[in-house]
Structure 1
Amino acid sequence: MKYVFGAAIALCATQAMSERVITPDEIRAAVGAIDTQAIVENDTHDRNWLNYGLNYAETRYSQLNGITTDNVGELGLAWSYGLESRRGVEATPIVVDGVMFVSASWSIVHALDAVTGEQLWVYDPEVPPEFASKGCCDVVNRGVAVYDGKVYVAAYDGYLHAIDAATGVQVWKADTIENRELSYTSTGAPRIINGKVIIGNGGAEYGVRGYVSAYDAETGELDWRWYTVPGNPEKPFENDAMRMAAETWDPSAKYWEAGGGGTVWDAMAYDEELNLLYIGVGNGSPWNRHLRSPAGGDNLFLASIVALNPDTGDYVWHYQNTPGDTWDYTSTQHIILADLEIEGEMRQVLMQAPKNGFFYVIDRANGEFISAEPFVETTWASAYGENGRPIENPAARSKEEPFETVPSAYGAHNWHPMSYNPDTGLVYIPAQGVPLVQSTDPNWELNSHKPLSTMSGMGWNLGYLFNAIAPEATPFGHLLAWDPVAQKEVWRAEYVSPWNGGTLTTAGNLVFQGTADGRFIAYDATNGDTLWQVPVTSGVVAAPMTWERDGVQYVTIAVGWGGVYGLMQRATERVGPGRVFTFRVGGTAEMPDFGTSERTELLTGVAYNPDDVADGLAVYVSNCLFCHGVPGVNNGGAIPNLGYSNADVIANAGDWILEGAGVHNGMPRFDGHLNDREVKQLIAFIQGTADAIGAAGQ
């Protein structure tokens, strides 16, 4: 555990630099006053940002109007702060009375003076570097929670930490993983409701059973746990919901041996009047339903929104966005609560734009389907019937033929938060497309490393091969302003790449978003006019937030390129370390320098046997593809593309693959299932592919 508080030394340094001192007693008083009612009451003014999505409804709409369409062009940097991170930064900061708490990659938490950016303390949960291999999508963390004097972070290795907000000292630590032989991780932000810290886990790609858990905020004791998919039907079911769900699964393939999936790794929302907690449930394990549940079935509660009683964890209702999911169409994307007038009647609704490309409006009191319309092109289904079920394209479930699924498993909208502005009536969605063709993997076996079986050497259990034929679609990314009542697009802003950051909207008639190509932009929320933008130090994936102190409104965004797409792709050569930027009208701080990629030359000169290239491809697909990408097609994202590596690194690849030279950076050892011969085959594929690309470009 690392503490960078230094008590009097740190406070004296802060005073000398800024003439502003935040004492531990002030932090203790401010955060000590935060409870469920305080989070609810903050929604009357929004001066603080007390919950991941600002409020329990997760609207990311701030009532602050100190920054408007008239003066947003006068925004300048107030301060920036280095997070010392070169992996993905996905967090939305929390601000309480001028104190900011923000997490970086590896789940490290930073406490800052929100007005000056001065560091107060740093808490390192000491996630073991080798744990990086247990997650699909970068060593990220989406944020912390605050409650009753403590800061809570769900660390990547599945431990939930409670930290004293005033000092950065650990109060307690709870293990959220029920079976540590399996590859569970935690990347989402906790939510705290009535003294219970609620958190899920990731890991459905690897073969786990999903669940969501509630812990006592004071002691860390487990209060309740609700599973999202049924277990072995030969054993007693935990509750009636699991008994109901089991009727929608085919037991012939023993789905429980692969866990079933359904991890709750991100979206939650809470209605304090209905006392309902809404969770978004993830994909199946394996992805391919032909292998997971051969006779078909809806496979509850995969790809569903589920309403629970937050006090007991009891099931109340569900709506399944994608029955019988087979495309990794998780429903873990942002859930927003709102009251909308629909056909002359005010309805209490929740809204979601999940991976599958349809925008949903659901009655949040009872789960009744209201409407769903595509917000991007969709080839897997054309529409939804009045019964709330998709009208599917039968070819999308082909067991024999490859199919270009649109949206792909990257999603039409992934975890990047959207926002809802009640003044404009619009939802602002980070929409995207990343082409993929998927086909059933005929050789898949549970937990079996087989050449060409996608990422099987890393423990993935997908049951699919990808891009056996080339996709026809082209990548895209845009900010989409969507009318949830009329279910139609109002305006959009086009970008050069997918994987752009989350959105914030405000009473100043503004929308803020960071982009994959390293810009932070403000738009007119009504018509989409670009009003202000500034370059930042890398691509942006996190969502901005806003807060007020002493009558001044600030806008903050955490910057750091990464995430599953960002591991192997990027849209800017700026690769500066993770950094927090805070802006205000009239800010005069200098923007920091940024680094640029040094991966500029294709790999050349490594000796190899051309006869090894084909075998090297098979080894590469099963061990390396989803982290390093295809060698030489680009120079990589947060992780290097090996076709642009140093020749000495590739020539000595055995040091990295078999000896663990990169473990400190999160690269696992492969000596458990690869040998010297296969390393030589990998070298041949990497250098051979780079040579082919180089020759084609001449």
Structure 2
Amino acid sequence: MTVASTAGSVSAAGQSTSEGDWATWQKDLFGSRYAAAEHRIDARNVKNLKLKWAFAYPKTESTFVRSEPAVVGNTVYFGGSDGKFYARNAGNGAAKWEFDLKSVDPENHCADRPPNSATTCIMVWDAPTVAEGKVYFGDARGYFYALDARTGALSWSARIDTHPYATVTSSPIFYKGRVYIGVSSLENGAGRDYACCTFRGHLDSLDARTGELKWRYYTVPEPKRIGTWPSGAPMFGPSGVGVWSSPVIDPRTGTLYVGTGQNYSGSGGDVDTMLALDARTGGVRWKNQVTDSDTWRMLCWDPDPTGYCPGLAEGTANDYDIGGTPNVFVAGDRTLVGVGQKTGVYHVFDARTGEVVWRRLLGEPQANGGQGGIQWGASYDGKSLYIATYYANPGKLFAVNPANGDVRWQTPNPADGCTTGGAAQYPAICVRAHGPAASSSPGLVWEGSNDGKFRAYDAKNGQVLWTFDTIRNFTGVNGIEGMGSAITGTGGGAVISNGMVYVQSGYWPEYSTDKGHVLLAFGL
């Protein structure tokens, strides 16, 4: 069976960008995360890659960074842990403009949020999409923004979910005058006295010019009172089924693909499901539920979870979300869509019917927290799928045959990852795990690690060709001192554009919170 590439053939319908740009988290509509046009950095010279500049975030109460940059022309766009969104010169980091998210919150909706999540409220947790002269992104409090890409002026904003725990980790995608975005929440982290749970996950289609809601697909029925928690707090359900991951679109059929998460309470809805929706109407074309039931909240980690961890007795409290973003690709004469799950399984479906074509277990399933698998996504370069695993003793990077799931090579997170560099000072924290989505460019695969190291691998055999340790102090081009940390989350994926490589360093687990964290830019 031959494998034909779709990578790079479509960036986004109506999007005025060049092939060398990386204008959206997914890189293109198909979710390839493959910089097909990159010709300067290759397997022969990647060893010469050097840090060109760093941007350091100011120290704030929450120091997490997870907004993967977008690069269009000579501008890099990204959100910070300080409630700001930035546009900088892609080559040298010089300032262009910045936007303060607090300017769009006259009612201070962070005050609605329970105290245990308020510190992460006004910050950008997703990656931006740049299209038709605007920059689109969401924030951790459930707002969505459209800014002028040249000036940073606000075009429009919308609070796309009024639930106090609502958040946006899904990165938007632009297609034919609309932006598509998933919405989830931090409600599963609420305490014992909270009336858990009332949030409903959803996927929205918004008019890119005005922000008008064109359609909304809810992933779970409206929660109803179903009992009482041991604390006496009301129990509602079913709830949750957030859309943490980012959608992709096959423009040949107008089909949108996205994965969903677990219930927080009760049982029901499109739990741990791959959805195929009509991009124009939101109608269901097919759906495939990959886990029968999955009801989990963070109190399942409590020393005494009895009565507060739904599904614990039945063995369904697993947190087996589809957090990974799908990949659309062609194998032989068949269009397929694949996605990674926190079970460690990469699933591949017929893109037209939803029929399972193949599955491959790459990670280690872990109940009650599901961190042994595939977290945010994979990359496809027209030849192989590149898939990384998280807490899988150790995490590994795989090259997989897209036609049948055969493993072509696998490279464990290097054995010295926690004993060398900055991570060696923190043996109780460091784990050999891959949290970010993989990225690729001709001849190379890029992946960051919880050990704080950013690596380039040979796409032919998985050999590590270049390593940079980010757990160190950096002086930012903005005059602030920052420090790298674990490379993970939505922001930890590498962005390769026009001879430069960008990565955010500073998500969980944090090696230090004495300083803010950093965006790093590399070149030859």
Interval of TM-score (by shorter of Structure 1 and Structure 2)? 0.7 to 0.9
Q: For residues 305-324 of structure 1, what are the structure 2 equivalents within 5 Å?
A: 305-324=274-293
Match status 1:543 vs 2:493? yes
2:116 aligns with 133
Q: Which amino acid aligns with 1:506?
A: S
Aligned counterpart in structure 1 of residue 26 of structure 2, from 50, 53, 65 = 53
- Structure 2 CA distance for aligned equivalents of residues 481 and 525 of structure 1: 8
Superposed CA offset, 1:595-633 (max 9, x none): xxxxxxxxxxxxxxxxxxxxxxxxxxxxxxxxxxxxxxx
Equivalent-residue separation in structure 1 for 2:335 and 2:82 (angstroms): 38
Checking the alignment, whether the CA contact within 8 Å between 1:354 and 1:411 is kept in structure 2 is no
- Could you tell me how far 1:113 is from its partner in structure 2? 0.8
Judged with a 3 Å threshold, the aligned counterparts in structure 2 of structure 1 residues 330 and 527 are, in CA distance, closer, same or farther, namely same
Matched residue count: 435
Tell me the secondary structure at the aligned position of residue 133 of structure 1.
helix
- 1:361–1:369 Cα contact (<8 Å) kept: yes
- Residues 1:118 and 1:268: Cα distance change in structure 2 (over 3 Å): same
Q: Deviations over 1:386-427 (max 9, x none)?
A: xxxxxxxxxxxxxxxxxxxx255243335433212223x232
1:485-521 C-alpha deviation (Å, 9 max, x unpaired): 34243212225413543321111x1111222222211
* Contact preservation (8 Å) 1:46, 1:547: no
For 2:493 and 2:464, how far apart are their aligned partners in 1? 18
Residue number in structure 2 paired with 1:596: none
Query: Among 168, 177, 190, which residue is 1:195 paired with?
Result: 177
- Structure 1 residue 140: deviation in Å? 5.3
CA change 1:271–1:283 in 2 (3 A) is: same
Could you tell me the percent identity over the aligned residues? 25
Counterpart CA distance in 1 for 2:515 and 2:397 is 24
Moved more, 213-222 or 102-111: 102-111
Q: State the partner residue of 1:411.
A: 371
Q: Deviations over 1:271-309 (max 9, x none)?
A: 0001001111111122xxxxx24xxxxx34111011111
For 1:169, the aligned partner's letter is A
Contact 1:538 1:576 in 2 (8 A): no
The equivalent residue for 1:116 is: 92
Cα distance between partner residues in 2 of 1:377 and 1:267 = 23
- Whole-Å Cα distance in 2 between the matches of residues 212 and 583 of structure 1? 35
For 1:361, the equivalent position in structure 2 comes to: 348
Which amino acid in 2 is paired with 1:355?
Answer: K
Distance 2:117 2:279 in 1: 29
Pairing partner for 2:397 from 479, 484, 490: 479
Partner of 2:39: helix, strand, or coil? coil
Kindly provide the CA deviation profile for residues 54-100 of structure 1, in whole angstroms up to 9, marking residues without a partner as x: 11111111111321111111111222222335622222211111111
Amino acid at match of 1:200: G
Change (3 A) 1:410 1:106: farther
> Alpha carbons of 1:232 and 1:500: their partners in 2 closer, same or farther (altered >3 Å)?
closer
CA distance in 2, matches of 1:77, 1:232: 50
Q: In the TM superposition, what whole-angstrom CA distance separates every residue of 1:366-398 from its partner, at most 9, and x where no partner exists? A: 2111122311234xxxxxxxxxxxxxxxxxxxx
Normalised by the length of structure 2, the TM-score is 0.76
SS in 2 for 1:73: helix
Cα distance, 1:252–1:118 mapped onto 2, change above 3 Å: closer
Q: Is the 8 A contact 2:202 2:219 kept in 1?
A: yes
8 Å Cα contact 2:411/2:463 also seen in 1: no
How big is the shift at 1:545? 0.8
Distance 1:35 1:57 in 2: 8
Does the 8 A contact of 1:155 with 1:187 survive in 2? yes
Over 3 Å counting, the alpha-carbon distance change for 1:188 and 1:55 in structure 2 is same
Alignment match of 2:521 (pick from 582, 585, 604): 582
Q: 1:414 to 1:141 in 2, by over 3 A?
A: farther
2:388 maps to what in 1?
A: 429
Structure 2 residue 252 is matched with structure 1 residue 273: yes
Q: Which has the larger radius of gyration?
A: 1
The answer as to 2:500 corresponding to 1:554 is yes
Q: Does 1:186 align with 2:159?
A: no
Paired letter, 1:538: S
Give the Cα–Cα distance (whole angstroms) in 1 for the partners of residues 282 and 379 of structure 2: 27
Root-mean-square deviation (CA, aligned residues, Å) is 2.8
- 2-structure distance, mates of 1:252, 1:544: 44
Determine the C-alpha separation between the residues in 2 that align with 1:173 and 1:329.
32
1:393 maps to: none
Return the alpha-carbon distance in structure 2 between the equivalents of residues 143 and 339 of structure 1.
26
Q: 1:365 to 1:283 in 2, by over 3 A?
A: same
Give the unaligned 5+ runs of structure 2: 1-9, 189-195, 229-233, 295-315, 419-430, 471-483
Q: What is the match of residue 6 of structure 2?
A: none
Is contact 1:92–1:142 with CA below 8 Å preserved after alignment?
yes
**Alignment counterpart, residue 493 of structure 1, candidates 403, 412, 418:** 412
Query: Are 1:339 and 1:349, in contact at CA under 8 Å, matched by a contact in 2?
Result: yes
Give the equivalent residue in structure 1 for 2:457. Answer: 523
Distance 1:573 1:109, change over 3 A: closer
Residue-by-residue CA offset, 1:117-141 (whole Å, 9 max, x unaligned): 1111111212756547348989651
Deviation track 1:23-51 (CA, whole Å, cap 9, x = no partner) reads: xxxxxxxxxxx994354x86xx7311112
1:150 aligned partner: 134
Cα shift readout 1:421-442 (whole Å, capped 9, x = no counterpart): 223x232323324xxxxxxxxx
CA contact 2:52–2:523 (8 Å) conserved in 1: yes
Q: CA deviation at 1:146?
A: 1.7
Cα distance, 1:412–1:428 mapped onto 2, change above 3 Å? same
Task: For 1:202, give the aligned amino acid.
Answer: S
Alpha-carbon distance change, 170 to 153 in structure 1, aligned in 2, over 3 angstroms: same
For the residue of structure 1 that corresponds to 2:47, the secondary structure is helix
Structure 1 residues 140 and 488, CA, compared in 2 at 3 Å: closer, same or farther? Answer: farther
Partner of 2:41: 67
> Which residue is 1:261 aligned to?
240
1:177-207, Cα deviation, whole Å (9 max, x unpaired)? 1x43x42122222222211122222226252
Tell whether the 8 Å contact from 1:500 to 1:514 is kept in structure 2 after alignment.
yes
> Who is 2:313 aligned against?
none
Pair 146,279 (structure 1): closer, same or farther in 2 beyond 3 Å: same
Q: Show the 5 A alignment for 1:360-509.
A: 360-378=347-365, 406=366, 408-423=368-383, 425-433=384-392, 476-489=394-407, 490-495=409-414, 496=418, 497=431, 498-507=433-442, 509=443
**More relative contact order, 1 or 2 (CA 8 Å, 6+ apart):** 2
Change (3 A) 1:136 1:194: farther
Does the CA contact (< 8 Å) of 1:232 and 1:256 recur in 2? no
Secondary structure of 1:583's partner?
Answer: strand
Match of 1:444 in 2: none
Between the aligned partners of 1:352 and 1:528, the Cα distance in structure 2 is 21
Q: Residues 360, 414 of structure 1: CA spacing in aligned structure 2 closer, same or farther, 3 A cutoff?
A: closer
Structure showing the higher strand proportion among its residues: 2
Q: CA deviation at 1:253?
A: 6.8
Q: Please, what TM-score do these two structures have when normalized by structure 1?
A: 0.58
Unmatched segments (≥5 aa) in structure 1:
1-33, 234-250, 287-291, 294-298, 379-405, 434-474, 586-698
TM-aligned CA deviation for residue 313 of structure 1:
1.3
CA contact (8 A) 2:345 2:374 kept: no
- d(CA) in 1 for partners of 2:23 and 2:503? 15
